[in-house]
């Protein structure tokens, strides 16, 4: 599956389960770990877990097996690693604390050659 198609499927799953404030960040050239980050908010522990589960289900139905899943037990935040796409789902206070949009967004500094 092409990365663009996977992102569309992830965004569809997030929309269906009513994730909030969805942001897609192109981190190519900023990260050697992934090409895209999708960040979304869940309103509670239960909602964060449901959102992460929906992303996992959608990915598997698309033939993509997650490389890893973190944080789903406490569900204050969750990370779903789909290879070229990493999905972060967080409760608003954790999203504010980690501020991934600032760290990885378009205004973030690009590492010097050899540092990525």
- For the stretch 84-103, pLDDT in tens is 999 999 999 999 999 999 88
Provide the pLDDT confidence category of residue 6 given band limits of 50, 70 and 90: very high
pLDDT in tens, 12-44: 999 999 999 999 999 998 888 999 999 999 999
Residues 34, 84: contact at Cβ < 8 Å? yes
pTM listed for this prediction: 0.89
Residue 19 structure tokens: 């994730």
Average pLDDT over residues 73-93: 96
Structural domains of the chain, with CATH: 3-101 (3.30.460.10)
Longest CA–CA span in the chain (Å) reads 41
Higher-pLDDT residue of 10 and 114 is 10
Residues 34, 85: contact at Cβ < 8 Å? yes
């Amino acid at each position: 599956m092409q990365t663009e198609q996977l992102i569309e499927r992830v965004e569809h799953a997030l929309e269906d389960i009513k994730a909030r404030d969805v942001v897609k960040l192109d981190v190519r050239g900023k990260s050697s770990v992934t090409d895209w980050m999708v960040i979304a908010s869940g309103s509670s522990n239960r909602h964060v877990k449901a959102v992460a589960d929906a992303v996992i289900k959608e990915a598997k139905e698309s033939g993509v097996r997650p490389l890893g899943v973190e944080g789903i037990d406490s569900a204050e935040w969750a990370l779903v690693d789909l290879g070229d796409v990493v999905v972060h789902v967080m409760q608003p206070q954790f999203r504010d604390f980690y501020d991934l949009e600032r760290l990885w967004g378009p205004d973030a500094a690009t590492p010097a050659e050899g540092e990525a």
